[in-house]
C-alpha cells in the first residue's frame, strides 16, 4: 500500500500504553508524517497534563511526529466510547479545523471509517480485537499493578502502588517493608529519620523539617526504580505525629511533602508486638502514648488503612502479606 503524506491518530491515552505505541508505529508505516492528537475533557480520571507529559517524553523528539492537544467539552463533542456516524460527523468538523492537511486517519475503533467517509479522506483500522496487544486503558486503570508491563516507561512511575507502613516504635515497620519488597521483587524506602537523629530523645523540633525533606526526596527518587509497587517505611504523617507528641506543636505540611504522601494504602502496625529496645527508641509507656498520636495523624491523611496486629511476629508478617496480596489483586491469579 502506498504511503500517504499526513496521518492522524487521536485518543485520550489514559494512560499511554504499549497498545497505543503499536497503533502509532502502524500509523507511521502509512504516512510520511503523523499527528497525534491528545483529546482532553474536564473531570477525567487522569489529568490531561500528565497524559501530555507522557506523550512528550515518548514522542516529542521523533522527527516524523507532531503532538497536538484538544481540550473539549462533552456538550460540544460527545465522548462516547461507542462509534457512531452522528458523533463522528461532529468530530469531523472539529478535526478539519485542527489538522486540515490530514490524508488518512488511523485507529482501533470503527469511528475512523465514519470520520474518513464524512471527511473524504482515507482510513486504516488497526487491531480492532486488541489481539496484538491484549490490554486496554480501562484494565490498566482498574488493576495498575497487574498490567504494569503494558505501561510506557514515562507513565510507569505514576502508576506505582505506594504502600506506607506507619505505627509507633518497635512495631516491625522496617522489617516488614524490607520483607515485602523482597517478596514482590521491588524496592522499599527505608526510614530516613535515623539518618538525621540517632535517638528519639535527642530530636529537636527543627530536625523534623529536615526529616520531612529527606523522606520526600527518598520517595521521589524511589518511584522510577520500583517495579509496580513501592513499600515506604514512614512518611510525613509519621513526622507530624512526632511533632505533636514530643513538642505539642503542629508541623505545617508543605505541598511537596503532601504530594509524596499520596499513597494508596497504609499498613498500620499496632503496638501489641513484643517491644525491642535497639538503643534509639522511647521507653514502653511513651511508645504506647506515641501510638495514639500516630493513629490520629494517619487518619487525617485520608488513606485507606489495614491494621497489622498480634504479639506473634510471623503471624503479623502473614497478615501483612495477605493484605498486600488482596490489595494488588493477586490472590486470584
Are residues 238 and 208 located together in one domain of the fold?
yes
Q: Which pTM was predicted?
A: 0.89
Residue 226 lies in a domain: yes
**Is residue 113 classed exposed, middle or buried when 0-12, 13-18 and 19+ CB atoms within 10 A define those classes?**
middle
Domain count across the chain: 2
- Distance in angstroms (rounded) separating the CA atoms of residues 58 and 50: 12
Are residues 50 and 171 located together in one domain of the fold?
no
Residues in CB range of 44: below 8 A, 6 or more apart = 12, 14
305: domain CATH number? 3.40.50.300
Residue 58 lies in a domain: yes
pLDDT for the residue 82: 62
Are residues 315 and 172 located together in one domain of the fold?
yes
Residue 333 lies in a domain: no
Host domain of residue 35: 4-150
Are residues 90 and 123 located together in one domain of the fold?
yes
Are residues 55 and 186 located together in one domain of the fold?
no
pLDDT for the residue 320: 98
Are residues 320 and 183 located together in one domain of the fold?
yes
Residue 155 lies in a domain: no
Whether 159 and 50 have beta carbons less than 8 Å apart is answered as no
pLDDT for the residue 333: 40
Residues in CB range of 277: below 8 A, 6 or more apart = 170
Are residues 169 and 132 located together in one domain of the fold?
no
Length of the chain: 333
| Domain end point (choices 87, 122, 150) | 150
Residue 332 lies in a domain: no
Pairing of strands 31-41, 229-233: unpaired
Residue 191 lies in a domain: yes
Residue 230 lies in a domain: yes
19: domain CATH number? 3.40.50.620
Whether 115 and 139 have beta carbons less than 8 Å apart is answered as no
Per-residue burial over 293-321, b if 16 or more Cβ lie within 10 Å, else e, is bbbebbeebebebbebeeeeeeebbebbe
pLDDT for the residue 202: 85
Are residues 129 and 208 located together in one domain of the fold?
no
Q: Encode the chain (333 residues) as per-residue pLDDT tens digits.
A: 567 899 999 999 999 999 999 999 999 999 999 999 999 998 899 999 999 999 999 999 999 999 999 999 888 888 766 678 888 999 999 999 999 999 999 999 999 999 999 999 999 999 888 888 999 999 999 999 999 999 999 999 999 999 999 998 888 999 999 999 999 999 999 998 888 887 777 889 999 999 999 999 999 999 999 999 999 999 999 999 999 999 999 999 999 999 999 999 999 999 887 766 655 565 666 777 888 999 999 999 999 999 999 999 999 999 999 999 999 986 434
Are residues 113 and 166 located together in one domain of the fold?
no
| Domain end point (choices 96, 126, 150) | 150
Pairing of strands 305-308, 229-233: unpaired
Whether 54 and 16 have beta carbons less than 8 Å apart is answered as yes
**Can you read off the three cell numbers belonging to residue 36?**
497525534
Are residues 164 and 32 located together in one domain of the fold?
no
pLDDT for the residue 331: 42
Are residues 99 and 208 located together in one domain of the fold?
no
* φ, ψ dihedrals at 300, nearest 5°: -65, -25
Are residues 100 and 165 located together in one domain of the fold?
no
Residue 241 lies in a domain: yes
Return the SS3 of 63. coil
- Distance in angstroms (rounded) separating the CA atoms of residues 37 and 70: 7
| Domain end point (choices 107, 131, 150) | 150
For the chain, how far is it from start to end, CA to CA, in angstroms?
43
Amino acid at each position: 500500500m502506498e504511503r500517504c503524506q499526513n496521518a492522524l491518530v487521536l485518543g485520550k491515552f489514559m494512560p499511554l500504553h504499549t497498545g497505543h505505541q503499536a497503533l502509532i508505529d502502524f500509523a507511521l508505516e502509512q504516512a510520511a508524517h503523523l499527528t497525534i492528537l491528545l483529546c482532553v475533557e474536564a473531570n477525567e480520571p487522569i489529568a490531561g497534563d500528565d497524559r501530555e507529559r507522557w506523550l512528550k517524553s515518548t514522542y516529542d523528539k521523533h522527527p516524523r511526529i507532531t503532538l497536538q492537544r484538544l481540550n473539549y467539552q462533552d456538550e460540544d463533542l460527545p465522548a462516547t466510547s461507542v462509534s457512531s456516524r452522528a458523533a463522528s460527523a461532529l468530530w469531523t468538523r472539529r478535526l478539519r479545523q485542527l489538522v486540515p492537511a490530514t490524508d488518512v486517519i488511523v485507529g482501533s475503533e470503527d469511528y475512523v471509517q465514519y470520520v474518513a467517509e464524512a471527511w473524504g479522506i482515507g482510513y486504516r483500522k488497526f487491531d480492532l480485537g486488541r489481539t496484538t496487544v491484549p490490554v486496554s486503558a480501562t484494565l490498566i486503570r482498574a488493576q495498575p499493578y497487574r498490567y504494569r508491563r503494558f505501561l510506557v516507561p514515562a507513565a510507569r512511575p505514576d502508576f506505582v502502588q505506594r504502600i506506607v507502613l506507619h505505627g509507633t516504635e518497635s512495631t516491625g515497620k522496617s522489617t516488614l517493608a524490607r520483607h515485602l519488597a523482597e517478596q514482590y521483587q521491588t524496592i522499599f524506602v527505608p526510614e530516613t529519620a535515623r539518618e538525621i537523629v540517632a535517638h528519639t530523645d535527642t530530636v529537636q523540633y527543627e530536625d523534623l523539617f529536615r526529616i520531612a525533606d529527606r523522606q520526600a526526596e527518598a520517595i521521589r527518587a524511589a518511584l522510577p526504580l520500583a517495579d509496580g509497587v513501592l513499600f515506604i517505611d514512614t512518611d510525613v504523617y509519621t513526622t507530624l505525629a512526632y511533632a505533636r507528641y514530643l513538642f505539642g506543636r503542629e508541623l505545617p505540611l508543605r505541598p511537596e511533602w503532601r504530594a509524596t504522601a499520596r499513597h494508596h494504602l497504609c499498613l498500620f502496625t499496632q503496638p501489641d508486638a513484643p517491644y525491642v529496645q535497639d538503643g534509639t527508641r522511647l521507653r514502653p509507656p511513651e511508645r504506647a502514648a506515641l501510638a495514639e498520636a500516630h493513629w490520629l495523624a494517619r487518619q487525617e491523611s485520608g488513606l485507606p488503612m489495614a491494621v497489622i496486629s498480634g504479639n506473634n511476629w510471623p503471624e503479623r508478617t502473614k497478615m501483612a502479606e495477605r493484605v498486600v496480596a488482596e490489595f494488588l489483586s493477586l490472590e486470584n491469579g
